[in-house]
Structure formats: structure tokens, C-alpha cells
A and B are shown apart, each in its own frame.
Chain A
Amino acid sequence: MVTTTLHADGSYQRQEKLTMSSLNGSKGFNAYFHFRAEKDGVKYEKALEGDQPKLTITRDGIAGAKEPIDLEVVGENNKPLVSSQVSVGKQADGKILYTERLRWLGDPNVFNLEEYFADQRSIRAALPPAYRSQKTVVALTGASSELMNGLLLGPPKPYIVKAMLNKELAKVELLDAVTAFLEEHKQSWLPGITQEQETQLARSLLDIYVYKDLGKVDKSKPSQTGEMQMLVPLAYVVKAPGKVVQTNGTVSKDGRVYWGLVPLATAKHDIVLSVLCDPG
């Protein structure tokens, strides 16, 4: 978990808590993460949480300073999968802007074009005949793919593991999210679509993106640590002074802003987490 505590003058404290499964503890944190060396104000604290090794890395940051990359999640052969870079600045009106850019450094073809065109064909077939124009198919494929990426991989929260722990609940919740998405876009892409057609299309989109592949999975294959790292849950938390004016994260009742995601969420494009706060 990466926690950034912003101060009213735009300076901040950064804390990265890294945990490892006790089974993998012998490999050391460097096998899973790249992080800053313990110098120039960067402090380490090692501990055990239950039987899990934990490393807490703390440093202070100055408003507006250009910071190097704090953290990388590492995949196969110790190659980085995703990098995380923070920027905090005080604006002319006194508000503080926090941004965190997450960038994919892994295989650029992890989502390939062949898959995209296969999705296009499936979506064309799922649409009622009156809506099968290339323009509609392209627009719906692009937007629904983005939607499913966010829903399953985050931010704001990765649904993917939860969906497998309780498939029946996931079906209802994902269907609700896809139905709400179609409701929002139907005026522009699917004018006049009936309720029944819309429900059927929502179910088809879930089949295309989630369910039709589950049956093909070979569960007998052993897991690869490098591959598993693509799905390691990442959490970012910001404690902001004063009032949160704008954010793309979730605000808790006590005012913390948070995001959850897995590294694979960044594979299509950078993800930028942001908070604008008014310290008052």
C-alpha cells in the first residue's frame, strides 16, 4: 500500500508498505518490487506481520520537486511490469494537486489486436441487426473494453479476484454495471433499443469479456510468479489536508482518498490517480 500524506504547504510524506507471502519470503522483496535505496532521506523498516515479511519505506517530498520513480512492480526475469511516479504541487490559488502516474513497462502486446478484432466480431453479432454499423461496433467495442478493464482490473477497485470467489454475486453486480453503461450511452449509439434487447446485449457483453473464456482455462498448469505479479493487488491512499475538491478516487468517511488496481490495468494506457484539495 502506498500512502501519501499531503501537508498544507504542498510538502508530503510518502510511505510504501510492501508485503510478501510467507511462502515467497526467502526470495526477498527485490524479487517482486524495485524501490529506492536506503539513502538521501529514504528510511526502511522491516517487520513481520503475522508470518508475512513487511518492508515499510518512508521519505519526505517537497512541493513541485521532480521526483524519480518510487516503485516498480517486477515480473518475470526481474523485468519491471509497472512503474509508479508521484507529483505534488501547490497551485497559485493555494490548492494542492496530487497526481500519481502508473505506467506499464511489461509486454506491450499483452492485449493484442487479434483479440480486439475478435471482440469486435462478437459484439457485432450480439447487437440487434439494426445497430450493426461499423461506427456503432467500433464505438461500443472501445468503450465496453474500457469499462470491463476498469471493472475487472481497477481503478477504482479490481473486481477480478472477488468475481471468482463469488461468481453469482459477480454476475449480478457486473450485469448491473454493464446495464448502467448501456443506459448512459444508448441515446448516442443505440437509439430506440428496447429494454429486452438492452438486457440481452448487456448479458452478451459479459459473456464476451468474462464468461466465455472461463471454461477454456487450463487449471492444471502451474502458476508462474512473474505472471502472477500482473495481478498483485495495489492500493494507493492519499491523506489530504482540508477539503477534497476533485478526485478520481473514492473518498472514505474520514476523508482519505483511495484506489485499488492490479498492474495489468495499466497495460493499455497510463493510469493517472489525482486529488485536488483545498487546505483552507
Chain B
Amino acid sequence: MRLFLALLALTGVLSGCESVTAYTKIESDGSFVRTVRYSQGEGSSPSLSDFQRTFYLPQNHPGVSYRLGKDDKEPILTTSRRVSAGHPMPADIVLNDQSHKPIVQCQVVVQKLADGDVAYDETIHWLGPQQDVAAGSVKPMSAILDKVLPDRYRTKEYEDKVGRAMAKVLLQTLFGPPYPHILDAVSTPDLFEIEMSDALQKNIEGPLKEIFPDMSDDERRQVMESLLKLNQEDLGKLAQGTDKPHDASANSMGARAPGDEPSLLFVVKPPGAVVETNGTVTSDGHVYWSLYKQALPYGDVKLHLVAHVGGSK
């Protein structure tokens, strides 16, 4: 085991990168403790000003404790706060862009529901310019859709809606949440096409149901299958909101390689069994979501869970 870890380090992929991990432990009354761990990656100095370049860190917030330290070679900043049941919490995680201006902001709300269950909702707001699909980038998709869409939906309005939904789903499938498949593109590139296709098929179903609520399952399946026939170049244009050929070196969203981008991880320990979530549930009852900020330019991303408190339901 030791040998291959050493080998891996030689590849350079062990280079440090920034990350934020938000751990939210919810009590059965709806109160919670929020602990956020910021890491600057290996090699940087453990100073608050270094962290402030990547993250906006509001100072002197009542009830928030700050701890600066090191985890192995990584400088770590940990903030912690307790929030009483029913009390709103201000946005706490803010990611800066390369010019140190806020670009991503996270807002958590925990509510006790009428039936006693507890709901956790976290909205990850994109503060940068809103991306939209380029007219040219929807064309290849429209050509495919024209063959399978029932007549009642064959309008530009619906094509644009599907274009936007597909672009958003593409970005979320690549960059999370709940899971950033872009990591597989690096670690198992030959399997990436198979895994992306499976994940897209799963992720596009919900948005298509919203756009075409009265569509039959068979009609929707045909639309879904046709969308998966888009080639990688057309998918790339759609996701990047451009009708120009994809240029990996000139990414319109300022994306760096996944190992170089700050990663966001949200872990929640609910007070009971999870009955509803769009995250991943672990064997010991935690729920988590992982993402990169490139998932966001088509709109906010919401993390959601409902946990049952008390006896069986």
C-alpha cells in the first residue's frame, strides 16, 4: 500500500488544493451545530489573510468560533456555531473568484416540520453572471428532438426549456451535486462515457417530467434516449453556453482541472432516519453532497433532506 501512494505522489496529482467541508449536525428539536473546515491545500502558510483570498470570512460574528491550525501539512481554518431551533442563520460559506470577489454563497435552513420531522435545505447561490444556452448550441439538440417530440411540444419555447434543463443537468452531472463525475474523467477516462451516459439518463428524468408533466412514460423515454445520442462536442457546446467549437484551453467558466478547483463538500448528520434526500446516504446515516462551482452558472443548486424524528413512520 505504501508503495503506490508514493508512486501516486510522483504524478503530481497530490498537489494541494482548496476545499470547504461543511458538517451540520442536526438535533431532533431542529437546532444544529454547523462546523465548516476550510483548507488551503499543502504548502500555504496558516494565516487568515491567505484563507481570505479564496474564501470570504466574515469577522466578529457573535457565537462563531474560529480556529486556525494544521492537519498534517495543510493549513486548516475551522469555524463553528450553534444555531437554535427556528432561528435563521446568515449565509456562512462564501467562495471568492480569482479577483477575490464573492462568486458562490451558501445558505442553510433547518426547519421542524408540522409532523415532527426535520428538513434541511441548503441553497448554493451563484453570484456571477447567469449563463444561458446559446441559440446555436441548441440546434443539434433541436434537430434530434424534432424527430421524437409529440406535435404539441414542437415549439421553440419547449426546445429552449429542454436545452436549458439539459445544460444544467450536464453541468451537475459533471460537477455535482451529489457527485462530480468529472473526477472519473481523470481517474478512469475510458469508462467515463459509460458512466456519464448512465448518470445523465438518471438525472435528466426529473427535469423532463417537470417540463412535460402530461407526457407518457414511453414518450419521455424516447426524448431521453434521443438526448443521449448527442455527441460529446454538441454536449460540450450546450453545457458551456456557446455555439463555437469546444476549446478545452479556453473554458468560458474559468474552470481549472478538478484537482485545482476548490471542492465543496456538505455532510449532514440528521437526528433520525432519512426519508427524502437528493444527496447520498452513508451506511451510518450521514448524508453528503460533493460539488465544484462550475455546476452553478445555470442557476442555484439546492441540497435537501427530510429526516424522520421519533418512532416508525
Contact = CB atoms under 8 A, between A and B. Distances in A.
Contacts of B195: 252
A124 interface: no
Interface in B38-54: 39
Contact of B191 (A111, A167, A230, A258): A258
A233 B190 contact: yes
A215 B189 CA distance: 28
Interface stretch (B25-33, B55-63, B164-172, B283-291): B283-291
A145 to B, nearest CB: 8
A190 B174 CA distance: 40
B259 interface: yes
Given A115-B2, A252-B194, A162 B10 contact: no
A253 interface: yes
B198 A217 contact: no
B146 interface: no
Interface stretch (A6-14, A36-44, A85-93, A218-226): A218-226
Contact of A215 (B8, B72, B186, B198): B72
A79 B267 CA distance: 46
A103 interface: no
A83 B281 CA distance: 38
Q: How large is the interface on B (under 10, 10 to 19, 20 to 34, 35 or more residues)?
A: 35 or more
A210 interface: yes
The residue in B4, B186, B197, B290 that gathers the most chain A C-beta atoms within 10 A of its C-beta is B4
A253 B73 contact: no
A interface majority secondary structure: helix
Interface in A226-280: 227-228, 230-231, 233, 235, 237, 252-254, 256, 258, 260, 264
B283 A258 contact: no
A73 interface: no
Contacts of B10: 219, 221-224, 227-228
A159 interface: yes
Interface in B231-263: 258-259, 263
Interface of A: 1, 17, 110-111, 115, 119, 145, 148-149, 152-153, 157-162, 164-169, 172, 175-176, 179-180, 183, 195, 199, 209-210, 213-219, 221-224, 227-228, 230-231, 233, 235, 237, 252-254, 256, 258, 260, 264
Interface of B: 1-14, 19, 21, 39, 72-73, 180, 183-184, 186-191, 194-195, 197-198, 201, 258-259, 263, 265, 267, 282-284, 286, 288, 290
